[in-house]
Amino acid sequence: MTVIEIVQGDITRQDTDAIVTAANESLLGGGGVDGAIHRAAGRRLAAAGAEIGPCDPGDAMATPAFDLDPPVRHVIHTVGPVWEGGDFGEAEVLGSCYRRCLEVADELGVRSLAFPAIATGVYGFPAEEAARIAVATIVGTSSAVERVRLVAFDREGRDALEEALASVGEGSAVTS
């Protein structure tokens, strides 16, 4: 059973085997959490992204973590859906982001993985619905990842995640 943790903080400061970035399809870096991770990992991250990209929305691809501090070994790049009102498959694409990141983490032997709130910034996905999708997908996906840390950047995001996790009941831990 994967334990789910919720924290409020900066994903570039998390001590997990891998961290997920909310990228754009080019994987060359951008703003928001992607910008923060590229700044922390250094210029080699964009070069590595250029080698493996582009990445389709809902898919996930891994690179080394370069200048990020240990134990982070991998950055898993995923591309969320741009929110267009909810009738264009956005929920399915977001669920696929979380599922594919867990699959890639399993391929890498990752045991602890940190996620930002994918698609809830520039891409405009409502935080509460995104949190429900994130928790439901992680709880519903069989994975060897033992610890998933959901990293909220602000109080609103953290509350949304804690509410989503509380609604799925036992089997997952909340530590904040």
For ligand APR, the binding residues (CB under 6 A) are 10-12, 22-24, 30-36, 80, 116-123, 151, 153, 157
User: Is 59 a known active-site residue?
Assistant: no
Smaller CB distance to ligand APR: residue 46 or 144? 46
Smaller CB distance to ligand APR: residue 37 or 102? 37
Q: What is the smallest separation between the CB atom of 126 and ligand APR, expressed in angstroms?
A: 11
Beta strand 147-152 pairing with 74-79:
unpaired
Q: What is the smallest separation between the CB atom of 50 and ligand APR, expressed in angstroms?
A: 14
Positive or negative, the CA dihedral 87, 93, 98, 103 is: positive
Identify the active-site residue in 15, 17, 34, 67. Answer: 34
Smaller CB distance to ligand APR: residue 89 or 109? 89
Q: How far apart are CA 16 and CA 148, in angstroms?
A: 9
Q: What is the dihedral of CA 84, 86, 88, 89, to 10 degrees?
A: 130
CB 79 within 8 A of CB 97: yes
Active site residues: 34
